């Protein structure tokens, strides 16, 4: 499978990739994007099977990326890994078509719970 990790922090993209491996998800092709605009370009070019995105990024935010994808008819599984996990954000994410929202700090088990239906 091809996974897109979108986060404006290179360190966080690496941590998420490491966490995926610790959760048992190995051997996937990982594509990275450093902001929302790069994420949209990568989605259109790379056609990933799963997108893991930060909420707050330069350019387009993660929720804007998700909403733009859905408006274009792109139904790729999309989820968030973010610091902010208010009930409002969870509701907006779900209503916009997000499959999951993982709050920081996180553990490999958080990724397993969120991703087993998609990668397990």
pLDDT in tens, 90-102: 999 999 999 999 9
Q: How far apart are CA 42 and CA 31, in angstroms?
A: 8
Residues near 1 by Cβ (< 8 Å), separated by ≥ 6? 28, 29, 49, 50, 119
CATH topology of domain 2-119: Rossmann fold (3.40.50)
Q: How far apart are CA 111 and CA 50, in angstroms?
A: 13
Predicted pLDDT at 52: 98
pLDDT, block means (10 residues), the chain with 120 residues: 97 96 94 98 97 96 97 97 89 96 93 90
């Amino acid at each position: 499978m091809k996974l897109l990790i979108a986060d404006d922090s290179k360190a966080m993209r690496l941590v998420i990739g490491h966490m995926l491996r610790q959760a048992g998800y190995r051997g996937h092709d990982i594509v990275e994007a450093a902001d929302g605009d790069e994420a949209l370009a990568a989605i259109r070019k790379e056609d990933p099977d799963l997108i893991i995105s930060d909420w707050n990024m330069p350019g387009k935010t993660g929720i804007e990326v998700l909403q733009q994808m859905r408006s274009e008819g792109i139904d790729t599984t999309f989820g968030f890994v973010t610091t902010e996990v208010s009930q409002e954000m969870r509701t907006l994410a779900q209503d916009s078509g997000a499959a999951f929202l993982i709050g920081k700090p996180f553990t490999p088990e958080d990724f397993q719970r969120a991703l087993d239906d998609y990668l397990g």
